[in-house]
Structure 1
Amino acid sequence: MVVTSSRCRSTGLSVLVVTSSRCRSAGLSERAEDKAQMKATTNFSYSRNDSNCTSTNNLSQVIFPLLYTILFLVGITMNGLAMWVFFKIPSKSNFIIFLKNTVISDLLMILTFPFKILSDAKLVSWVLRGFVCQVTQVVFYFTMYISILFLGLITIDRYQKATSPFRTSTSRSLLGAKILSTAIWVSMFALSLPNMILTNKKKTPKNVKKCALLKSEFGLVWHEIVNYICQLIFWVNLAVIVVCYILISKELYKSYKRTRCTGKASKKTVNLKVFIIIAVFFICFVPFHFTRIPYTLSQTRAVFECAAQATLFHVKESTLWLTSLNACLDPFIYFFLCKSFRRSLLATLRERAASAELRARMREQNDADDTDETPL
């Protein structure tokens, strides 16, 4: 019995040792799997959970809201006037159709400014910040890339006009321009809508400080995918614009050689008008797109320290303001490049001035009549 019990005890001990070793190995393997999973997800979870890394200071609370307020007041005035003038102009060419779409896009962008101003300046509750992250910020980028696409189409149209100055738009080409414009709006909306839907985390005063904290895991992935698609849209349009303007420059030079006896003043005026689109494009959109990819990575992946994230935020906000400036510069494109817009605007201003002058004269006459004595 003693031998048996000792054997049993030794057997039990061996079983316990084997079992415990197996448990330890199983625990180690589970911990290794957990570490692997954490490594696999840290790219998208670290920066989002790092809610303590925020970039709020006087620059973002005072300076940028003030700059956007100036843009809002100037932009809503200029684009409201442009929209009013364009409603009087029939869509008789592809160029005018593309310009009208650009006006609508700019107006929608400008209408998002008050939400950004109030949110950044912290003049309202944190609930509005959540709305900005989910809706108005998405609309802002949605309209930005619509403007980029239409500037590309306008440039192609100007190249065709330079090479074939007597070409006229047919009803078929007008229909094609309208279908193309509709396709741009629908496709960009389809890209942007998931960014609204997937910003679905519960909003709290803490996580609304950083929009990436409100996105689901797939929301972060989709945000990065859309960023790459938008980068592709920008760089393709940039290439198209540069190539078109190189070809336009060649056509202008040929035209100048044929008519160089007419003087240099006309050449300067033509160049100024033609190159206004590429000037606006480079000023407004190029700086931001050199910044956007590293900034997006700082929001969706753990690749930057907090100080670097703050620096990228301020660079992104500065270049983003330049993209917003596009809404105030586009009306100059309408005025210098669209004869119908320029004539309609100047005629409207003359009518307004004439009617104001007429009203002033009538008022003076009425005042004079009131002061005359009525004879008995």
Structure 2
Amino acid sequence: MTFFVISRLLFLHLLLIVLHISSALEVNSSNRSFPKGRSLVVSNGTLPDQHKEQIQSYRTELVVPLLCLFAFVIGFPTNTLALWLLVLRTKKLPSTILLINLTTCDLLLLLVLPFRIVYHFLGNNWTFGEPFCRIVIALFYGNMYGSVVCLALIAVDRYVALVHPFGAKTFRSNKNSIYMSVFVWIVVAAAAVPLLASKQSYNIKNLSITTCHDALPLEEQEKYFLPYFATLFSLCFLLPLLVVLFCYSAVLHTLMAEGKRFAHAIRVTVLMLTVFIVCLLPSNVLLLLHYSKSDFANNDLYVPYLITSSLSTFNSCIDPFIFYYVSKDFRNRLREALRCSGSDSESSSESRTKMTLLSKMSGTE
């Protein structure tokens, strides 16, 4: 029961945040004074002095790339291992198909992090050209929200399997999983296309750098990126979060009512909530507050957003642990792979020992 109370309180808290952001955005549409937004405002190829201070901050040039580097170092090998196991070693069950899509989204997001790391280490100077800037930003946001939607569909799959086991025979099929996979990639494409179609890099004359998505014209921010990110927040983050809360609260309620052990389900729930609340919620809320005219948003939120955006990439590091608890077949295959690697190392060490003994024996003879 405690979990249900927490879920309802969290839902009400998120609802208040959305209402606050919505009211702030309404004020923003009626008041067109100079904003302090998420994206710094570029005008005639220059940045105002207060924005120059932010983009030259050590936090954007050191802290942000170090966070991205840590996420890449941890997330890329773990997701590569997970994808190898899911594609080549596990049975193609409905849940496995969804996990493959989630891993693919995470890997595509992680693959663009090295370019963002170099960009920030160079003092927020983009040297890879405008087309590639669009591709990197589109892959970053598209796959981030695609992975969120995929996590929600995995929660629905677990909900049907445990709460409605008789209906699961019809719903949980490979065919339906393929349909859900197609839906995930439609979301990825819908999130990526607006970024691919808009100019992302601007030459900042008074800093002698070229920014990528960080400095945008005021009109572009208000008329293009505000509705774009507001739609992503509502449909690709808030709605999936509510779906996850509903599905896993129902799963825990069912397991508790049947007197079954639910430590396993609690681990999955905690990991899911960690991804949504710790990794993704701060960056998504700050993303919209940057465009608003509320008292809180009048503070400079550019640097905090970049930091929380970097922290949001840590969801790719947590997802492999979700695979471990969601799929029993994945757990077994991972253990087999680890045992094989351990036995291979032991056999190689044994062979080296035997060769050493033989050389010693031949030497004494």
User: TM-score, normalising length from structure 2?
Assistant: 0.77
Q: What residue identity is the alignment partner of 1:150? A: C
Work out whether residues 61 and 120 of structure 2, in 8 Å CA contact, stay in contact via their aligned partners in 1.
Answer: yes
Check if 1:294 corresponds to 2:311.
no
Check if 1:237 corresponds to 2:240.
yes
Can you list the C-alpha shifts for 1:90-148, whole angstroms capped at 9, x where unaligned?
55332111111010001111111111111111179642385674221221111110011
Q: What residue identity is the alignment partner of 1:80? A: T
Residues in 2 aligned to 1:97 and 1:140: alpha-carbon distance in whole angstroms: 22
After superposition, residues 1-376 of structure 1 pair within 5 angstroms as 47-49=41-43, 51-52=47-48, 53-54=51-52, 55=54, 56-90=56-90, 92-122=92-122, 126-128=126-128, 130=130, 133-165=133-165, 173-199=173-199, 203=203, 208-209=210-211, 211=213, 213=215, 221-233=223-235, 234-256=237-259, 266-295=261-290, 297=291, 308=298, 311-373=300-362
The answer to which of 226-235 and 340-349 deviates more is 226-235
Match of 2:199, SS state, is: coil
1:171 is displaced (CA, Å) by 9.8
- Runs (5+) with no aligned partner, structure 1: 1-38, 260-265
Work out whether residues 92 and 169 of structure 1, in 8 Å CA contact, stay in contact via their aligned partners in 2.
Answer: no
Residues in 2 aligned to 1:200 and 1:57: alpha-carbon distance in whole angstroms: 21
User: TM-score, normalising length from structure 1?
Assistant: 0.75
Q: What residue identity is the alignment partner of 2:362? A: E
The answer to which of 161-170 and 51-60 deviates more is 161-170
Work out whether residues 274 and 337 of structure 1, in 8 Å CA contact, stay in contact via their aligned partners in 2.
Answer: no
1:235 is displaced (CA, Å) by 1.2
Match of 1:128, SS state, is: coil
Work out whether residues 65 and 120 of structure 2, in 8 Å CA contact, stay in contact via their aligned partners in 1.
Answer: yes
Work out whether residues 283 and 308 of structure 2, in 8 Å CA contact, stay in contact via their aligned partners in 1.
Answer: yes
Match of 1:127, SS state, is: coil
Match of 2:128, SS state, is: helix
Larger radius of gyration: 1
**Corresponding residue of 1:8:** none
1:201 is displaced (CA, Å) by 7.0
Indicate the RMSD between aligned Cα atoms, in angstroms: 3.4
| Change in 2 beyond 3 A, CA 1:63/1:172 | closer
1:219 is displaced (CA, Å) by 7.8
- Runs (5+) with no aligned partner, structure 2: 1-30
1:322 is displaced (CA, Å) by 2.5
Residues in 1 aligned to 2:303 and 2:123: alpha-carbon distance in whole angstroms: 20
Q: What residue identity is the alignment partner of 2:358? A: D
**Corresponding residue of 1:10:** none
1:216 is displaced (CA, Å) by 9.7
1:88 is displaced (CA, Å) by 1.9
**Corresponding residue of 2:20:** none
Match of 2:136, SS state, is: helix
Percent identical: 23
Work out whether residues 61 and 123 of structure 2, in 8 Å CA contact, stay in contact via their aligned partners in 1.
Answer: no
| Change in 2 beyond 3 A, CA 1:153/1:80 | same
| Change in 2 beyond 3 A, CA 1:48/1:80 | same
Residues in 1 aligned to 2:168 and 2:356: alpha-carbon distance in whole angstroms: 54
Residues in 1 aligned to 2:172 and 2:265: alpha-carbon distance in whole angstroms: 30
| Change in 2 beyond 3 A, CA 1:334/1:127 | same
Residues in 2 aligned to 1:63 and 1:48: alpha-carbon distance in whole angstroms: 24
Residues in 2 aligned to 1:230 and 1:354: alpha-carbon distance in whole angstroms: 47
1:343 is displaced (CA, Å) by 0.5
Residues in 2 aligned to 1:65 and 1:339: alpha-carbon distance in whole angstroms: 36
